[in-house]
Structure 1
């Protein structure tokens, strides 16, 4: 029996899941809260979600509850909806032979909760809880492994991983999230089967990687992925950062791989849930191996542009949306521009800080500095200068347009864009404020052409 905090016991979510369990029981079925929710409750944490396992079949679940939805009926999983809250309710089952590293050939329902536990992934996720009594049922040694801070596969590790190779990534995610060690036999099986991760869909892999690097120790997660052999199978471009030396005067922390892990860790905690930013941090120096030169010192000329091209290819491979690809690629492409902020004209600075999602560029720059030399002077300068401009429009609508140039007799052509850009720069600098002043400036520029 565990002691549940009042804040959890009295929460709408817990009370609702308790109602569902009790309704199943009152209809003659066995039911428990299962999985990660029980683990979190044992650790004194508030679960993000609650799952239920029951002896009731999908048809029986539908007969008990008014609002249900099938989300995996062939695997015995139903969604029960109560007061706008949704909970997965799964029938106890034992999985038979797996052929594709993900799906069982067939599923057999069972009335024995022990058999249901035996087909789950890790002991820490194999616990069952009676919400009425707060009694935990442990058929796999999960409590002992929680106390020992171990990630251990239930039963034979190779069999558990071969049933769903995504579990290899989940092992690393739980290890990283909970700061638990992966048990030796489980780790051996993980390392042995790492290359089989390629049999899993890209989307499922991407989502697990995202969960790993959005947690509180993203750098550690990347290191674990590398040590396991999974990283080179999923994002070999990051594995290639290992051993790429950097100039010690700017990067006393070590090679590019070490720096990348530190940058991930140095992102502010409230930024780590930002998917595009966390991947921007992961990929920001991915162009360095291809641009490495050593002259007066080690240099990576234009690595941000090379890196942006590589990043775009990786993101397409990982099947991010076009919007996400554009966002992540921009973070990589623009990250070196902070080195020039002190020399930027007002117009150039305004253009720079008006790029889409600039707050993410600023957050990446801060982490980039903290993950290397630690000097935040350019970050502080940027914030100071932005403060000085807070009463000025940063990205105003251009006063002078192409139609104005045409009215002055200029024919659209190659010069058009350059002249408009020059006039807009003068507007950003504050050198004119009206259409009339802009027209006069345009006439002056045209007279010099």
Structure 2
């Protein structure tokens, strides 16, 4: 077994041999019909969770949502063999869900009850027609009970059934609609779009973590500008951020369209570039972003000012910036802003030229002098300690202090060394 496709085929075959209905379901069917390689495969079946675990064994299965009929099936392995060889990528498990009909949704997220059902009823509970189809990989037959194939051909995103009902069931679908529509470059069907606009204020009932997860996916994709524009027009931007941000300028949308990166943090910093840094910190906290994400976004936001003066900086300051781990993301942001004519490109171009002409060792050479060296030479830690180390580092980066001996002599000349 070499791929998740192989695992999914094995699962469908095993379930069918045991007398159950088993079909590919959801997004993987959509992608296959669009001629794309799915990122993962989901299987829907008439077998209940206990039957799935009995068929594949408890060592190969994980009940991640048994009350909702969901079991994860892991790849088979021989006794004593690891789940994957160290020189090969791990094969992700496949989610196997029992066909179900959902009860009432009371929290805008999940149903109070579920009843195991048929493929036809299972399709009706899903979000959009293009995600509501099934596919038999053994006979290569599509099972479409919701008109998904027609909407795929028309390149249209349509909610299944009554659009407002689908969004009321799970308010996160409001953001999923925006993301799918932008990534696929579809249009949103009229009733679906009207329901999104009407229900946009209710996105606030969704947890900040789930909202952040959708924003990550939107902003990491090249279609981010389309997603943000749709969020603005739907009223979702204002619903998420309140009075802080409700619309994005055309120039900034153009910059986001020009941005060449798949880093969520870079796009987030660019999108919110006009906000004060403390407001940005507050948004990161509100969305429950990780400390690493927050720090990256704040640094990229703050350092965009470098593209107003980089060429005029001393060499030591230029090298300090170019040595920073996120500098390539900052350059990508600067290039996007320059493409949208929101700044001149000369400082960004200068940074790129320096990166190409200076070696990594020239940009960030090993430290010549450390704090321990200063103490050894008789300098007591104090208010000046950090400043002395920074001056020594600047001299090294500028090529004035080329050895420890030169650094020691500089300390003596500047009267930092104690008199003997």
Same fold (TM over 0.5): yes
SS of the equivalent of 2:94 reads strand
Cα distance, 1:333 vs structure 2: 0.9
Runs (5+) with no aligned partner, structure 2: 77-90
1:197–1:447 CA distance, 2 compared to 1 (3 A): closer
Corresponding residue to 2:62 among 59, 69, 83: 69
Whether the aligned pair in 1 keeps the contact of 2:254 and 2:340 (CA below 8 Å) is yes
More moved, 406-415 vs 218-227: 406-415
Counterpart mapping for 1:156-175 below 5 A = 156-175=162-181
Change (3 A) 1:403 1:207: closer
- Cα drift, residue 396 of structure 1: 2.9
Which SS does the other structure have where 2:24 is aligned?
strand
Q: Distance in 2 between matches of 1:89 and 1:129?
A: 14
**Which of 269, 274, 279 is equivalent to 1:280?**
269
- Does the alignment pair 1:420 with 2:389? yes
Matching of residues 212-227 of structure 1 within 5 Å = 212-227=218-233
Q: Please name the residue that 1:263 is paired with.
A: 255
Question: 1:106, CA displacement in angstroms?
Answer: 0.8
Q: Which residue of 2 aligns with 1:342?
A: 311
C-alpha distance in structure 1 between counterparts of 2:39 and 2:324, whole Å: 35
- Distance, in Å, in 2 between the alignment partners of 1:447 and 1:319 is 46
Aligned residues: 402
User: 2:159 touches 2:166 (CA, 8 Å); kept in 1?
Assistant: yes
Partner of 1:25: 16
Partner Cα distance (1:392, 1:79) in 2: 48
Is residue 297 of structure 2 the alignment partner of residue 328 of structure 1? yes
CA 1:392–1:87 in 2, change beyond 3 Å: closer, same or farther?
A: closer
8 Å contact from structure 1 (residues 157, 189) kept in 2: yes
Q: 2:40 aligns with which of 40, 44, 49?
A: 49
Q: Secondary structure at the match of 2:249?
A: helix
Q: Secondary structure at 1:439's aligned position in 2?
A: helix
TM-score, length basis structure 1: 0.84
Q: In the TM superposition, what whole-angstrom CA distance separates every residue of 1:38-59 from its partner, at most 9, and x where no partner exists? A: 1111111111111111111101
State the match for 1:82 in structure 2: 75
Q: 2:47 is paired with a residue of what secondary structure?
A: coil
Residue aligning to 2:105: 98
Aligned CA distance change for structure 1 residues 391 and 43 (closer, same or farther; 3 Å): closer
RMSD: 2.3
Q: 1:80 to 1:403 in 2, by over 3 A?
A: closer
| Residue 376 of structure 1: how far off its partner (Å) | 3.0
Superimposed CA distance per residue, residues 216-264 of structure 1 (whole angstroms, 9 cap, x where no aligned partner):
2111110101111111121346635x4xxxxxxxxxxxxx622332222
Alignment correspondent of 2:84? none
TM-score (norm 2): 0.90
Q: Structure 1 CA distance, aligned partners of 2:266 and 2:37?
A: 27
**Which runs of at least 4 in structure 1 moved beyond 6 Å after TM superposition?**
none
The aligned residue for residue 122 of structure 2 is 116
Q: Deviations over 1:135-184 (max 9, x none)?
A: 11111111111111111111111111111111111111111011111111
Is the 1:37–1:51 Cα contact (8 Å) retained in structure 2?
Answer: yes
State the shift of 1:411 in Å: 4.3
Alignment of 1:127 with 2:133, yes or no, is yes
State the partner residue of 2:182. Answer: 176
C-alpha distance in 2 between matches for 1:413 and 1:85? 54
Is 1:205 aligned with 2:211? Answer: yes
Task: Indicate the residue corresponding to 1:300 in structure 2.
Answer: none
For the residue of structure 1 that corresponds to 2:292, the secondary structure is: helix
SS at match of 2:359: coil
Q: Structure 1, unaligned stretches of length 5 or more?
A: 1-9, 243-255, 288-306
Q: CA deviation at 1:444?
A: 1.7
2: CA distance, partners of 1:195 / 1:285 = 24
Structure 1 residues 14-68: Cα deviation after superposition (integer angstroms, max 9, x where no partner): 3331221121111111111111111111111111111111111101111111211
SS of 1:319's partner is coil
- Paired with 2:199 and 2:142, the residues of 1 have a C-alpha distance of 33
Q: Look up the SS of the partner of 2:62 in the other structure.
A: strand
Output aligned runs, 1:394-433, within 5 Å.
Answer: 394-406=363-375, 410-433=379-402
